[in-house]
Chains A and B, each alone.
Chain A
Amino acid sequence: MNKENIKQKITDNGERVEERNSLMDDLLKALELGGKDKVKSVIQAKAKVFGTQAEQRKNILLDS
């Protein structure tokens, strides 16, 4: 797999280059460590952060 070309493609796109390349690095690392299941769990862990933080703030708002 040509990892550098993928990252170059992301860079050429010009939008949120740093974030997307960092995400790509994380996904490649996950693929290396545990295949597609690890890739899935890494993305889900990242996505979960938003929901968890929102849940915490929601509880603060509704308990106050």
Chain B
Amino acid sequence: MKINKLKIQGFRGFTQEQEIDLSSRVTILFGENSHGKSSTLNAIEWCLFGDACKGTKPIRERKDWLAQNQNGDHDCKVEMVCEGEEGDIGFKRVLAASNKGLEIQIPNEELLKGDDANEWVATNIGSFTEFMATVYQHQENIRYLTIAGPTEKSELINRLLGLGDYSELLAGISSSNANKASKPVTDCINEIERSITFKSEDSQERIQDIGDDLGVNPNIFSMDDLVTNANNLSDQIHKIAKGIGLEIDQQEIPEGINEFPNFVQALKRDAQSLLDKSPDENMNHELSQKISQLDTDIAIITTSKKRSDEATKGLNDFIKSQGNKTNLDQRYSKLKSEEETLNNKISSMNKIHEALSRIYEYLESNDLGTGDGECIACGNKTVDQRDYLKSKLDELTTEPIKEANTQIQTVKAEIQTISGHLTNLTSLEAEITSSLEQHTENVEVIVQKYELTIRDGEDVIKLLNQEKTDVVNKRENLHASIQKMRDDVTTCETDCERLNKMVDLLKNKDRINHYSTIKEVDDYKAIERFENEAEQFSEDVEAVVDAIKSIRDEESGSVIENSKDIVKRIFNKISENPGITNIDMVLETSRGRENFGFKDGNGKEILPIMGQGDMNTLALSIFTGLGEANIDSLPLKSIIFDDPSQSMGKHHKDKLAEVINDIAEKRQVIVSTMDNEFMELLKNKISMEQLTIDIEGWEPDCGPILNAHAA
């Protein structure tokens, strides 16, 4: 199988869809960095392996590699056509919201999708690790060989030898700590032992405390003792019930210790129910209610009696201070008469005053009566008639009228006072009537309610108090029997608590017994079985690891054996380092780890004396040597070199071009380079049909600018 055509869209540097012809025996991708050479080669591996080619050591450039082009609007899609024995095989991998994964169209067969397609690749092309060991020489593999530590270098060589899957598998197993599979189970067993020791001591302490509390010997206390105590208590409750005339069903003694808490609870309820159902308790309750009712009624009667008494006293006190109604009426009439007399007097004097005033006005208006003579009004001799008249006017009318008005105000005030007294008297009389009616009504109700017979002179309150005394006495008489029953019930409740403690004691004894025999219990035996199984599992994993290592060693030995001459030949051809006349790949075990080494004919390490160019040459030699050694078994006859001439001098490059020409006789070659010198050497050295694709630049809208031309 070989690669013929590649169609890329939306992948890394590719934006618009571009088709690349790879059908020539040799295809050279030539261009500057960041123009799309590696993107083209990456598209081949991504199309076949998808995410499996991301983040796998030492392909660090893929660590955060997003396949989908972040600059374009297109979905990410790579299509590849390979030429197979039965015809063209089409591969298509898409990364889009609506579609994702690999599709493969094999001639005359149904389209394979998803897991089926991935499985086809695994079976017919191999794993990604194998692909990197035999088909695709990564730049980073070359770089890594020169800078990685021993472990990572060993992993890389493993990968170059096609043994990467062994390393991956063994690394996964090693990091799983399968040898400690039994530890959690052993921890469980230890925890059980610690716990039962602690709980046994705790239960023993509890048993002793309960024994001391109950006054029994906990060591000999048994289920029979518990049943005897339970029977006694049940009988006691039944007896008390019978004693107060009640019938209750006797609780059945349970057979198992676990049923006892419910049984004790039922006994408690029975004991409590005796208090609720007892006739004496009911009577006590009724009497208490009656006392309470009597207290209320006594208070009502007392209140209405007090109100009536206070009304009577109020009236008497009033009469004593203000007089009775007759007195008040007489005083009122007298004052009214005085008022009338005064009014008449004022009226008469007003008339005199008016007459004298007119005379005076007449004299004054006619300018008369200024000399001596007789007073017009009274005939007395006067010096000045008008002055005399004026003085008499004041003397006979103005002053007496003023005095009469003052008197009449006093009389009116007294009338108002008497009037108020009469109103008060009426209210007091009404209160007496009302309070007496209320009291009489209350008395009638009480007499009827308590069926009292009131003889003359008897006080209803006294009768009620007498009734209350009788009821209180009755209740006192009940007290003794009630208290006895309550004491009995309390004793039963205490005995119930004792029964609970006995149950607790026996349960703790059972618990100690259970702990002492826990290792005989099926669940414990199961845990021991899990421990054995976990240990067995660890042994199984170890045996599997031994088998993997054994076959890996066999395979690596075989791979080294098959390819070492070719690797040596290619290395010597390219390198021509006079200091390295021989090169042997060896697998050595050091501190439990297997490491690959490269030694000269005298068994000395050669990596420390290699320059950068020789390191690159060595990695390329292993890569191409392995491919050549296994050419017949390789399903994909293509070989891809990504910038293989890095760190090489002209001599190395010249020889490398010759080696690539040799390879091209047997396999399809795709090589990318940015090295002008190497490019010219390739053109000169490659004798097979070749196509050069110049990558002349990169445009954001369309991606790499490709210019293909045959040599």
Interface residues on A, range: 35 or more
| Residue from the list B176, B187, B543 in contact with A47, Cβ < 8 A | B176
Cβ-based interface call for B344 (8 A) = no
In the assembled complex, the CB of B189 is this many whole angstroms from the nearest CB of chain A, namely 8
A43 vs chain B, min Cβ distance (A): 4
A contact face: mostly helix, strand, loop, or mixed: helix
Q: Is the Cβ of B172 less than 8 Å from the Cβ of A50?
A: no
What are the residues of chain B within 8 A of A32 when measuring CB–CB?
122, 127
Residue of A nearest to B518 (CB): A61
Interface string of B152-177 (1 = CB under 8 A from A): 00000000000101101101110111
Measured CB to CB, the nearest residue on chain B to A26 is B544
Shortest B536–chain A CB gap in Å is 7
Q: Is the CB of B526 within 8 A of A53?
A: yes
Knowing A6-B547, A24-B544 are in contact, say whether A43-B188 is a contact too (CB < 8 A).
Answer: no
Among A9, A39, A46, A55, which residue has its beta carbon within 8 angstroms of that of B547? Answer: A9
Cross-chain contact A5 with B178 (CB below 8 angstroms): no
Q: Give the distance to chain B from A5, nearest Cβ to Cβ, in Å.
A: 5
Taking a contact as CB atoms under 8 Å apart, the answer to whether B534 and A23 are in contact is: no
Contact between chains at B185 and A50 (CB < 8 Å): yes
Interface string of B18-43 (1 = CB under 8 A from A): 00000000000000000000000000
Contacts of B527 in A (CB 8 A): 53-54, 57-58, 61
Please name all residues of chain A whose beta carbon is closer than 8 Å to the beta carbon of B182 when the two chains form the complex: 50
Flag A31-50 by CB within 8 Å of B: 1 or 0 each. Answer: 11001111111011011101
User: Which A residue's beta carbon lies closest to that of B119?
Assistant: A32
* Interface-lining segment among B81-89, B549-557, B692-700: B549-557
Q: A1-32 CB contact bits vs B (8 Å, 1 = yes)?
A: 11001110110010110011001100110111
- Assess the A27–B169 pair: CB atoms within 8 A: yes
Across the interface, which residues of B come within 8 angstroms of A28, CB to CB?
A: 169
B201, CB-defined interface residue at 8 Å: no
Q: Specify which chain A residues have a CB less than 8 angstroms from the CB of B171 in the assembled complex.
A: 36, 39
CB pair B540 A47 closer than 8 Å: no
Residue of B nearest to A16 (CB): B540
Instruction: Let me know if B530 and A50 touch, CB within 8 A.
Output: yes
Q: Whole-angstrom distance between the alpha carbons of A39 and B189 in the complex? A: 28
| 23 A-B residue pairs with CB within 8 Å | A1-B555, A15-B543, A16-B536, A16-B540, A23-B540, A24-B547, A27-B173, A31-B165, A35-B52, A36-B172, A40-B175, A43-B178, A44-B177, A47-B538, A51-B534, A54-B188, A54-B530, A57-B526, A58-B188, A58-B191, A61-B523, A62-B195, A62-B199
A50-B537, A54-B530, A54-B531 given. 20 additional CB < 8 A pairs?
A1-B163, A1-B169, A6-B544, A6-B548, A27-B544, A30-B172, A31-B168, A36-B168, A36-B171, A43-B172, A43-B541, A47-B176, A47-B537, A50-B182, A50-B531, A50-B533, A51-B185, A53-B527, A54-B185, A62-B199
